[in-house]
Structure 1
Amino acid sequence: MTTSPDLFRVGPLAGAIGADDVSGVATVVTIRQDSNPPSVGQIEVNTATGLTSANGKVWDPTLPLSLFVTVEEAEARGETLTLRYWRADVDDMDSDGIADEEEYLSQVQPLTSGMTGEQQVNFAGIDVSAQSFNSPVHVYIEGTDWAGLTYQEGGSGGGPGAENAWATVIIATDEPTTIVSAGFSLDHEMGYLLAGVPHTFKMQINEPNGLQTLDNVSIMLCGDGTDNVGKFSYNPANGDIWTADDSLISPLSVQTQQLTSDVIELSMMFEISWEFPWEEGQYGCKPSVSVIDDITEVAYQNNIGELTWVLDNRLIAIPASMDDLTPPIVTTDNIHLYLRQGDEFQMNGEIYYAGSGVLLSEIPDDLQVEMQIIYGTQEIDSVVGVAEDGTWTASMTLPMRVPLHANMGLTTFVLNVPGVGSSSENADAQVTVDSKSPTVLFDQVNYPDSSLTVLESDLLEEVLVSVTIVDEIGLPNEDLQVAWIYLRNNLPVAGTEDTGGLAMLFDEEGRDIFQGDLDFSPALEGFEIENGDRILFWVTSTDRAGNMIQGLGSESAPRPVALRIMVFNPSLDSIVINPKDPFIDETVIIETFWSNDGKRDGTIEINLYELKDDNSWRTETATIELQLLAETSSVYAVFEWTPGKEGQPVLYVIIDGDLDNPAYPVNGILVKEPEEVGGGPDAGVTYGLMGAVVLMALALVGFFVMRSRGEDDYYYEDEDDSYFEEETWEYGEEAASDEESDEED
């Protein structure tokens, strides 16, 4: 931009008369607008090898610290340049170890003002002789250009404080640098470095002057070769980490840890490119390390054998599970799926590095998985993409025809592996196409007692059952599932259906034998088994491919099982009591007669109990164990009981000690008081009357006898004797008959 003076009016606005403009040619003034701040390069020191960066430099305290700097200005350079410096132990006025801005000292050097381009400035030597070993000197630059723009506005020059210093020089005697030979480590999984995955290389450096005094630490992952492949570097002085374009290594970050006053651990993270050249079967690489101070290599270690590594850049798609998608749905046996022709299925899995077996976490773009099966002679493929989490799911539908071979392998490949990476084939998964249904058999020859021919009604709680399944491929390795239901009048009884399982007994070629105990008790509460009832029994399991069981005992043709009513039914039929009207303390004989009209033998325990007035039970006899055979009666058992008081006792015959349910009462007993003998006031009168009655009876008998003899004198004497003998015999027989009737009563 230019400006110049111009006289365009003399006097008032109306103008002037007689005035002349004698100013001549006007002076032109050029004005430049400067919006670009100046910049200053790194601060340098002069060494035997020339100027080198002062940042991190170890400087001998016996020599004045002379600093050089180069400034650059595109428009117009300022007039002066100021060096601000702070010396630990000398300028730390408050002894807090912090470089405060007011503690800095200054040096000012003139510039060729108004000029453009670069200018090198040499500052006078700074006395550092009073500083302790390894103490720092922090410096930064101040100044402006002609437009007043500062170096800091241009992002250079630094500032006060250790963290903002444009350079930090270490005042110390330069000590030797060594590498700790036992301090190496490399996170190589099973000896592998994975392409595209961050890794960490660790090493320990013994540097008494501090890590920041070094200029370069270089890692050569494949040894010290002639090219840059596998090499990356780190500058401890400024924290830069870099690599050559052809190294195929991406440096990520560096971390340091002070282990001792002299030893520092360096952790450098990096990533190997998928383009990194590697051949199958190539020998492993042994890393090398180089440490440089200025331009001198001060430490070196080659062929670090314990860190030998192999590149893993091969990917593999490993199946995790398989699922049947066509009903009936069958479960997978590991990653082996049994299907029927025409079934659809899917397989799920993840991507791994083939060598190390590490799960792929960083998924490259366009990565795909191919699933392949050879069905007979036909190749069937399914290609799917890989999700961001590294998982994949591929599905496939089988042809409707029977294959040449029932067992077929499934192979997977990874497609679009980046760079020079490759894929490894996986053939862990299998598919078996089962086109034949299994057959159920009940082998009565080998298992006659457990083949479900006839079941006894009282032994249904634990029935041993044996079932044979004939199948070429076999059933799943699990219990055989069965079901049953009761039939009455050839109709199923709702509520009696039940299920169970039989464990595998033998797994033989072409057949499986299952055996176990089942509880066939009716599941319906209150259901009592009657004559003519049956059980229908069938197998509900399928084979591995979901084919239904066929044959007698399948769901379509259940096996009928006959039921035999078997019961033990003890019963007390009659009780004979003698006497029924005993006196107190007189022994009573109680005879019992039992029967069992069931078809099962059994034994019961019986006893006679008396219920007392206080509701307690008392027994005077020992328990009798009574065995009742099937369909028997009149089994005899007798008890003796002695009454203790008059009246009607409460007696029961108790079975198996069940006092809560007394089933058989003993009735008809009435206990009497004993009669008194003599001594009463009416005893004489009573006996007198009884005697008179007896005498009268005898007189009447005598009268009739005499009369009878008078009328029948014409009979022979021997005939009279026979008559009375016969009459006497008849009377005795009738008397005996009457006594027997009394005993039965």
Structure 2
Amino acid sequence: EDRLLPLSVEISEIEALGGPLLLHSWREGIDDVDNDGEADEWEYSIMREITPMKENGTVKIDFPSLELVANGEFGKVSLYITGTDLAGHPVLNGGAPGVDNDMATLVTQDDLPTTISQPSISLDRWGNNLLVGQIHEFSFSLTDDNGIGSIDNISIALAPGDSRGDIWLDPLSRELSVNDNSPIHPVGLVIDELAAGSYKVKIQFRLGVDSPQSWNTSTQKPSVIVTEHGQVLELGSNSLSHLEWTVDGRVNLMLLSADDLSPPHSELFGNTLYLQPDDRFNFSGQLHHPANGLNVILDGDWQVNFSMDDNQNNAENWYTILSDSSSFMATSEIPQSRWNHGSATVQATIVGGVQTIPITDMKLHIVIDSTPPQLDFPVTTLSTINSNQMMQQLVTIRVNEAGGMGQNPLELHWSFRRHGVEISNMHGAAQLPLATDAEGLWTYSTRIDFDVNSDLLLPGDDLVIWVVGADLAGHPLEGIGTEGNSKMTQLRVIYFQPVLSELTVSPYQPTIESVFTIDGRVLNEGNDMGVVKVGLWAWQSSGNGGRYHILNETNLTLLPQQHAFFTFSQEAWDSGDLQLYIAINDDDTNLTSVPVGLVREQTTGEILWQNIDSPAAVGLMILLISVVLMVVTAAIRRSDEEWDDMDEEEIPPPPPWAPDEWPEGAGPPPEILTQSTSLLEEE
């Protein structure tokens, strides 16, 4: 069987070809005359061809095929080139005699079979689609014990019957190629040798936006065609229906970002950028595929045309190059002399090549805003606030802004001040989220905790509030209640202030083991009711300094401006200064000394009186007094009886006539010595 090796050479000349070109070949099994295994110069055979006359550039020169049938298994073949151009300049980089110096060295081997693993053939798709502008991969496993370089050509026919869908792989040079008018762009080739004679082939490619419409409307069934020794091998890899596909040629130019370059800076809101007159801005776009949202690459030369139009005057046009074949960045400005109000639309269009399915344009809306937003505090919002009701305060404000405020919240700041100076750590801030917006009126509302220590507030302190925010064009808020024009809220400090107003002791100077009372009065000078704890404390000294002991305590409930009395009874347990104090709400830093005198020892009379004052002595005294009273009573009764007897002997009998019956002419009536008055006369 003939074993022919087709030979061809590519040669480049910048001026003029036309000279001879010589191909020197040496076959180890045929031309090694002296059998030394070395390619001697005199052992080379020569084939001669003439290059095209006066032609320049790169030209392919074909030589007759080289017969290798008798070269033997693993026999070497050495090749090198000599020759001149039309001016006689020698060929460069053509090699020299010898296996170590030649241009190419081949090894002949018995022709072994080539196979492709059918299950290994794969084509990564998005669903059943190939997406334009994105990398896809066709892969398969191939086995050839002669090496993959022994194969003439491997063709991937993505769209059988349409040569524009062919990808050719040259296994020897490991290069990929396509037809000149093909929309397929080879990206990469990976050939991994899994084992001796076994290879994993991965071909990466990208479809262009000029893919034929038929690839979108008709299902394509790819195939793998392997050519060896000029013949197409039957490997069962034709019409791979399980890998059928259609092209999805949709591409969108999407707005990626837009920034206000002039202070105060504004942010992109949706696809709308709010600017002030004379602002500069930039924006960027990116090609995306709507199927998976990934970036799209356009092969070839493309540019982006821009048009900014307000539908009133002539549009402003400019363009930029599509960088990285996928994105762009552009800068423009809003001159006040041209754009002083209203809105405009910036439209970006991709141009430069064939688009089977047109790429969707990008649009950026520009709102030109020259009026700052106006802040308005409703009468019911923070006009008055009580210091004991500063949590969950409902705050509602309104902003008049025709251009737009966006969805971002505003910031409410507050500061508690005394004599115009902020009280330490008595400030804060909170966000006011957007509640509603309608016809240029934006309402923000929420409940806010003025999270401060209200116990530090005093009557006369002030609460200052202000709101920070800006519209979408960057204009800061204006009006009462904004930064630099803060709002003063009427602060009503609610407090409970118990004050010890009176304190007396009885007796002032008690004696040891006697009980004395402490009477006091507590007045609430605040404007809120509350409960105060009044305690009687005693100081006890010790080696470590001493400590307070609680002797008694009571709780008093007081309304605003109300007072209440308290009384403590205490036994004097020692002589001298008892060091007693009245404590309010367990505050050991604000104690009031009890005005009790020095406790003294008892005198003898006080001791006697104290003994008499005992229960037994009292009983005895009562008994003695009772006996004395009985004796006195008996004596008085006896004296009364004696007097009664004397009275009975001395009183004469009554006259036989009544006083009004005294006879006339008998002289004066006798004097009546006794007379009793009836109850009726007494009344």
- Give the TM-score normalised by structure 2: 0.67
1:354-393 equivalence runs, <5 A? 357-360=293-296, 364-365=300-301, 367-370=303-306, 372-375=308-311, 379-381=315-317, 383-387=319-323, 390-393=327-330
State how far apart, in whole Å, the 2-side matches of 1:136 and 1:587 are.
130
Structure 1 counterpart of 2:626? none
Compare 599-608 and 427-436 and name the one that shifted more: 427-436
Structure 2 counterpart of 1:469? 398
State how far apart, in whole Å, the 2-side matches of 1:501 and 1:143 are.
84
State how far apart, in whole Å, the 1-side matches of 2:447 and 2:122 are.
60
Structure 1 counterpart of 2:130? 192
Compare 380-389 and 108-117 and name the one that shifted more: 108-117
Matched, 1:350 2:286: yes
Q: Report the CA distance shift for 1:412/1:522 in structure 2 as closer, same or farther (over 3 A).
A: farther
Structure 2 counterpart of 1:570? 498
Pick one of 164, 187, 193 that aligns with 1:258: 193
Asked if 2 retains the 8 angstrom alpha-carbon contact of 1:437 and 1:550, the reply is yes
Structure 2 counterpart of 1:646? 575
Pick one of 148, 159, 169 that aligns with 1:211: 148
| Structure 2 letter corresponding to 1:584 | I
| Structure 1 letter corresponding to 2:193 | Q
- Give the match's secondary structure for 1:258: strand
Residues 164-185 of structure 1: CA deviation (Å, up to 9, x unaligned): 873322236x54x443222223
Matched, 1:631 2:561: yes
Structure 2 counterpart of 1:507? 436
Task: After TM superposition, give the deviation of residue 488 of structure 1 in Å.
Answer: 8.4
State how far apart, in whole Å, the 2-side matches of 1:429 and 1:201 are.
39
1:296-695 equivalence runs, <5 A? 296-299=231-234, 301-309=237-245, 316-339=252-275, 344-352=280-288, 357-360=293-296, 364-365=300-301, 367-370=303-306, 372-375=308-311, 379-381=315-317, 383-387=319-323, 390-397=327-334, 400=339, 402-403=341-342, 410-414=346-350, 416-418=351-353, 424-427=359-362, 429-432=364-367, 440-443=375-378, 451-456=381-386, 458-459=387-388, 462=391, 464-471=393-400, 475-483=405-413, 500-504=429-433, 506-507=435-436, 509=438, 510-519=441-450, 529-530=459-460, 535=463, 537-547=465-475, 549=477, 553=481, 559-614=487-542, 615-617=545-547, 619=549, 621-633=551-563, 635-659=564-588, 661-675=589-603
State how far apart, in whole Å, the 1-side matches of 2:319 and 2:212 are.
28
Compare 606-615 and 429-438 and name the one that shifted more: 429-438
State how far apart, in whole Å, the 1-side matches of 2:606 and 2:596 are.
31
State how far apart, in whole Å, the 1-side matches of 2:300 and 2:391 are.
62
Structure 2 counterpart of 1:730? none
Asked if 1 retains the 8 angstrom alpha-carbon contact of 2:534 and 2:556, the reply is yes
Matched, 1:136 2:74: yes
State how far apart, in whole Å, the 2-side matches of 1:430 and 1:75 are.
66
Task: After TM superposition, give the deviation of residue 643 of structure 1 in Å.
Answer: 2.2
Task: After TM superposition, give the deviation of residue 653 of structure 1 in Å.
Answer: 0.7
Task: After TM superposition, give the deviation of residue 347 of structure 1 in Å.
Answer: 2.1
Asked if 1 retains the 8 angstrom alpha-carbon contact of 2:349 and 2:362, the reply is no
Asked if 1 retains the 8 angstrom alpha-carbon contact of 2:574 and 2:599, the reply is yes
Structure 1 counterpart of 2:2? 46
State how far apart, in whole Å, the 2-side matches of 1:242 and 1:332 are.
45
| Structure 1 letter corresponding to 2:570 | W
Matched, 1:159 2:99: yes
Q: Report the CA distance shift for 1:522/1:631 in structure 2 as closer, same or farther (over 3 A).
A: same
Task: After TM superposition, give the deviation of residue 136 of structure 1 in Å.
Answer: 3.1
Task: After TM superposition, give the deviation of residue 52 of structure 1 in Å.
Answer: 4.4
Q: Report the CA distance shift for 1:213/1:76 in structure 2 as closer, same or farther (over 3 A).
A: closer
Structure 2 counterpart of 1:168? 107
State how far apart, in whole Å, the 2-side matches of 1:329 and 1:124 are.
77
Task: After TM superposition, give the deviation of residue 577 of structure 1 in Å.
Answer: 0.8
- Give the match's secondary structure for 1:229: helix
Structure 2 counterpart of 1:179? 116
| Structure 1 letter corresponding to 2:540 | K
Structure 2 counterpart of 1:39? none
Task: After TM superposition, give the deviation of residue 516 of structure 1 in Å.
Answer: 2.6
Residues 73-130 of structure 1: CA deviation (Å, up to 9, x unaligned): 969999xx864359xxxx9xxxxxxxxx9983789998999999999999998595xx
Task: After TM superposition, give the deviation of residue 587 of structure 1 in Å.
Answer: 1.2
Q: Which runs of 5+ in 2 are unaligned?
A: 9-18, 51-61, 84-89, 608-683
Task: After TM superposition, give the deviation of residue 358 of structure 1 in Å.
Answer: 3.7
- Calculate the aligned-residue CA RMSD, in Å: 5.1
Asked if 1 retains the 8 angstrom alpha-carbon contact of 2:258 and 2:273, the reply is yes
Q: Report the CA distance shift for 1:327/1:102 in structure 2 as closer, same or farther (over 3 A).
A: same
Asked if 1 retains the 8 angstrom alpha-carbon contact of 2:412 and 2:467, the reply is yes
Asked if 2 retains the 8 angstrom alpha-carbon contact of 1:54 and 1:169, the reply is no
| Structure 2 letter corresponding to 1:317 | L
Task: After TM superposition, give the deviation of residue 205 of structure 1 in Å.
Answer: 2.6
Q: Which runs of 5+ in 1 are unaligned?
A: 1-44, 56-72, 92-100, 129-134, 680-745
Task: After TM superposition, give the deviation of residue 582 of structure 1 in Å.
Answer: 1.8
Task: After TM superposition, give the deviation of residue 265 of structure 1 in Å.
Answer: 2.2
- Give the match's secondary structure for 1:459: coil
Task: After TM superposition, give the deviation of residue 254 of structure 1 in Å.
Answer: 4.6
State how far apart, in whole Å, the 2-side matches of 1:363 and 1:248 are.
9
Task: After TM superposition, give the deviation of residue 637 of structure 1 in Å.
Answer: 0.6
Structure 2 counterpart of 1:69? none
Q: Report the CA distance shift for 1:181/1:224 in structure 2 as closer, same or farther (over 3 A).
A: farther
Structure 1 counterpart of 2:659? none
State how far apart, in whole Å, the 2-side matches of 1:323 and 1:77 are.
65
- Give the TM-score normalised by structure 1: 0.62
Q: Report the CA distance shift for 1:588/1:259 in structure 2 as closer, same or farther (over 3 A).
A: same
| Structure 2 letter corresponding to 1:171 | D
Residues 516-547 of structure 1: CA deviation (Å, up to 9, x unaligned): 32539699x999543xx655544333333445
Structure 2 counterpart of 1:267? 202
State how far apart, in whole Å, the 2-side matches of 1:516 and 1:116 are.
95
Q: Report the CA distance shift for 1:286/1:471 in structure 2 as closer, same or farther (over 3 A).
A: farther
State how far apart, in whole Å, the 2-side matches of 1:358 and 1:202 are.
22
Q: Report the CA distance shift for 1:327/1:246 in structure 2 as closer, same or farther (over 3 A).
A: closer
Structure 2 counterpart of 1:229? 164
Task: After TM superposition, give the deviation of residue 601 of structure 1 in Å.
Answer: 2.0
